[in-house]
Structure 1
């Protein structure tokens, strides 16, 4: 299975966990790591290139830090221009149908903050419903989300362990 991990972090070089995840994923032969902010520092996305990348992979993963209950802005722009009507959805838009889709998300706040009664009042599953809806609209199968929460409080060893667990989940069969 060929996996495309689209890493979306506006300051990856200063990240702790997303940087470690990307570095670890680069070591895997069946995983393509595509860093959007590196590829498009000006925010101008090459739609044809992105669509070709999607076509060449079986599993699509969005990796990002959770910002304001969503993804960094470049991923939203990417979705707007790449996942177009007639290509990704609609009666003629069947290019992603049957592919697998997954999220790999990090949060600064602890897991307890992301549940009913917690600081943010909603679970990660509730907050990621728009991504699940995207999978549904495009005909992709939404896989369980990989999350690392409370990353500000993790040790270096825990960060390394989270990278290994991410690799394990990406290689899992569903």
Structure 2
């Protein structure tokens, strides 16, 4: 099962993430948990989130990049749900062996994230990658959609279809 943890504080304004979710939401064995819809008051049901993670083989953290980081509710979700004794530490193995993909949208172009003036994109991924590895997960190549502020819906569709194809390819490779 593929579990998408979706964290967009303003989903009504996101054409990119909306396109991505529309492409994958109806695939077999895909569950989308929209954190800002589920927890508008930031009171996370830790048990429900851990149960959802337990059912998944592939976990996707999908969100827009905000100030070179994650949205605040997603960070809180990480802090609360990936708890000591469950996700890491001692004999904790709840996430061990699961795959993790970071699916992120950015307003800036890929050039904006080259080393030099701004932090490199690989550098920005390191905290999430380290979190995944610390919990025993397999870090997959991130899915990144850049320049979403200036793309219209027609320009976003090929990227959203590529996202869908990545999930279908993963399902095919891990069938049975």
TM superposition score normalised by structure 1: 0.94
Q: 2:154 aligns with which of 150, 154, 157?
A: 157
Secondary structure class of the residue paired with 1:53: helix
Q: 1:95-153 deviations in whole A, cap 9, x for unaligned? A: 00000001000000000010113x42x22111110000011100000000000001112
State the match for 1:76 in structure 2.
75
State the match for 1:135 in structure 2.
132
For 1:20 and 1:144, locate their aligned partners in 2 and report how far apart those are by CA, in whole Å: 20
> Are the aligned partners of 1:7 and 1:22 in contact in 2 as well (CA < 8 Å)?
no
Question: Cα offset for 1:161?
Answer: 1.3
For 2:160 and 2:7, locate their aligned partners in 1 and report how far apart those are by CA, in whole Å: 16
For 2:161 and 2:19, locate their aligned partners in 1 and report how far apart those are by CA, in whole Å: 10
For 1:49 and 1:69, locate their aligned partners in 2 and report how far apart those are by CA, in whole Å: 29
Alignment pair present for 1:30 and 2:25: no
Q: 1:145 aligns with which of 142, 147, 150?
A: 142
Q: 1:4-47 deviations in whole A, cap 9, x for unaligned? A: 01110011022111112122221212211110000111110000
Unaligned runs of 5+ in 1: none
For 1:31 and 1:108, locate their aligned partners in 2 and report how far apart those are by CA, in whole Å: 26
Structure-to-structure mapping, 1:18-167, within 5 angstroms: 18-117=17-116, 119-120=117-118, 122-167=119-164
For 1:155 and 1:18, locate their aligned partners in 2 and report how far apart those are by CA, in whole Å: 12
> Are the aligned partners of 1:88 and 1:94 in contact in 2 as well (CA < 8 Å)?
yes
| Displacement over 6 Å in runs of 4+ | none
Q: 1:59-78 deviations in whole A, cap 9, x for unaligned? A: 00000000011110000100
For 2:13 and 2:115, locate their aligned partners in 1 and report how far apart those are by CA, in whole Å: 32
The number of residues matched between the two structures is 171
